[in-house]
Amino acid sequence: MRKALLLLAVALTMATGTQAKVRLPHLIGDNMVLQQRTDARLWGWDKPGAKVTVSVSWTDKSYSTKTGSDGKWAVSIPTPEASYTPHTITFDDGERVTLKGVLIGEVWVCAGQSNMEMPVKGFGQCPVEGYNQEVVNARDFKGIHYVKIPSVMSMKPLEDANCEWREIGPTTVGDASATGYFFAQVVNKALDIPIGLVLANKGGTRVESWLTRDNLQRYTNEPLDTMAIVNGHEWDYHRQLVWGNGTFNPILNYTVKGILYYQGCSNVGDPGNQYSERLQLLVKQWREQFGLGEIPFYFVEIAPYNYSTIDGDNGARLREQQFIASKNIPNSGLVCTNDLVYPYESSQIHPTQKKAVGQRLAYLALNQTYGMTDIWCKSPSFKDMRIDGSTIHIHLNDEYNGISRFEDIQGFEVAGEDRVFHPAKAVHFWQPGGEYWSETIKIDCPEVEHPVALRYCFKNFQPGNLKNAAGLPLFPFRTDNWE
């Protein structure tokens, strides 16, 4: 009996000690990257009323706080300028917990569905171009770390996720988001500072998958009853609410620089302007949840794909919605991917050319966030049109004083009053007028004597070949609003 009581006392002592020790979310761990030159948030749990002291290796100053009645605590720690110097952070409530290998740099979230989730080593039957060379070259990029948040569903917002930070190297690069990693390569080289990637995404998800219960209730007709959510979609990855609760909510206390987003395929076919409105709502929600102001939001146009029929336009309409959103979301930018598919990839939802996607996101960030204005970061877009008899002249935005070709421009189609589109011939044209001649694209179609509408690559799978001086492709567009 005495032995049993003694064992019980030891067990209670051990349990009490375990509860008293500072507990950190998995996101706060060894090898993490903290955002430079800001007040980085650190948080965790302890017994109610406990005093927690945080000390860091880059300053002699320490920071103390007390847990609330719920056992939660949080502090904000001023961070220095970025460097490759590994730091330590110690949490002390009477028992010390020390994190090692902490770097100070730039932290970006990689959000969205499978084309963002797609790792450098690819998916089954979906390779990423250049994988072997990326393994060989992995040591060339020091200071790139990433953490993959497990894809978890939850009816209630979760506060923690079972994850760990990993340093890019030959044995770890394959599991990093390809789009995110190629973004990090460029920013790392351009700024020569560490880059941290927080990978919080899930393949197949819709924009509604990431909206909060409050936003879904206020702005959508999505059912929020548990069984309605479970039974409402054939595939669990289409479910509303639950992926944001389980996969994104655990990162919202972390201090980040901005968000990279690649999503939209699962929303193809949505009516009217619904996708654009809900994407704008999601960006507003995330910015409010992070509480870091109007952080940058750079996102990716869905790539050409057949969506059951190559010549259909439901995919093109979703791209149009993304373009509209890019004009309405402040401090944002959209990457065009019209040229980043091979002719044989019409039925490949995960195109192999991910390096250029990440690079183009990086060009946006370097120009618009980091002030490197010599980098040309925008794709050209339709500006205006003038019809002269059977000929159409158009001007483009963001040409950077040049287009990629003067002849054999592919992708334009023209329609008359009958609303039937025909392939058109397009060439570069210097249009006289004013002090300088104006650079235009001249478009003719023998089948249409009296054109009224113009489209460029406005089909599910129709890669074009017109680019600006930066080598960035023209955004698909239409001048009509026909249903």
Above 80 in pLDDT, residue 434?
no
Average pLDDT rounded to a whole number, residues 192-220:
98
Max CA separation in the chain (angstroms): 104
**CA–CA distance, 230 with 397 (Å, rounded to integer):** 45
pTM over 0.85: yes
| Average pLDDT of the chain to the nearest whole number | 94
Give me the sign of the Cα torsion angle 306, 310, 311, 312: negative
Contacts of residue 361, Cβ cutoff 8 Å, sequence gap at least 6: 179, 183, 260, 298, 300, 335
Confidence of residue 440 (pLDDT cuts 50, 70, 90): confident
Helices 355-364, 178-191: crossing angle, 10 deg rounding: 50
What letter would DSSP give residue 378? -
pLDDT, tens digit, for every residue of 276-330? 999 999 999 999 999 999 999 999 999 999 998 999 999 999 999 999 999 999 9
The DSSP bridge pattern shows strands 438-444 and 391-397 to be antiparallel
Confidence of residue 429 (pLDDT cuts 50, 70, 90): confident
* Tokens coding 301: 């146009």
Above 70 in pLDDT, residue 155?
yes
Confidence of residue 433 (pLDDT cuts 50, 70, 90): low
Q: Are 457 and 428 within 8 A, CB to CB?
A: no
User: Where would I find the beta strands (DSSP E) of 141-184?
Assistant: 144-148, 165-167
Q: Looking at residue 437, what is its pLDDT?
A: 55
- The identity of residue 382, as a single letter, is F
